[in-house]
Amino acid sequence: MYSIGETAKLVGLSTYTLRYYEKEKIITPHRNANGEREFDEQHIAWLRFVIRLKATQMPVAQIREYTELFLAGEHTAPQRVELLQNHQAFIQEQLQNLTSVESELQYKIENYEKLIATSVK
């Protein structure tokens, strides 16, 4: 079992964020006899998944919805798949946008490099 501080260091989040995720019912740590939060390996794995979802711009409300569906049981698998498929489509759209912007940036960089090369001579 890990304390909240140890967990924060392991997953790269602040203790404030862990408390926020608990408040939002995204994670439910165990409590020891003193009422202190304790996290196990399953919590760590779950938090790492949540971090990846956040990195792809999934809103906390959607992460909470996914969490609620997961905790409700296997019968919610179709809704979870739909939620993840919708987010995957969002990610694919973002990738297309980023690829387009990256191409434009590369074009600009090449033109500036040519301008710099010709003005240096």
pLDDT in tens, 104-116: 999 999 999 999 9
Q: Give Cα 86 to chain centroid, integer Å.
A: 15
How many domains is the chain partitioned into structurally? 1
Query: What CATH number is given to the structural domain containing 46?
Result: 1.10.1660.10
Confidence of residue 119 (pLDDT cuts 50, 70, 90): confident
For residue 37, give its domain range.
4-120
Q: pTM for the complete prediction? A: 0.80
Listed in order, strand segments (DSSP E) in 12-102 are 30-31, 37-38
DSSP state for residue 25 in the 8-state scheme: T
Q: Residue 25's closest CA among 59, 74, 56, 63?
A: 63
* 62-100: pLDDT as tens digits: 999 999 999 999 999 999 999 999 999 999 999 999 999
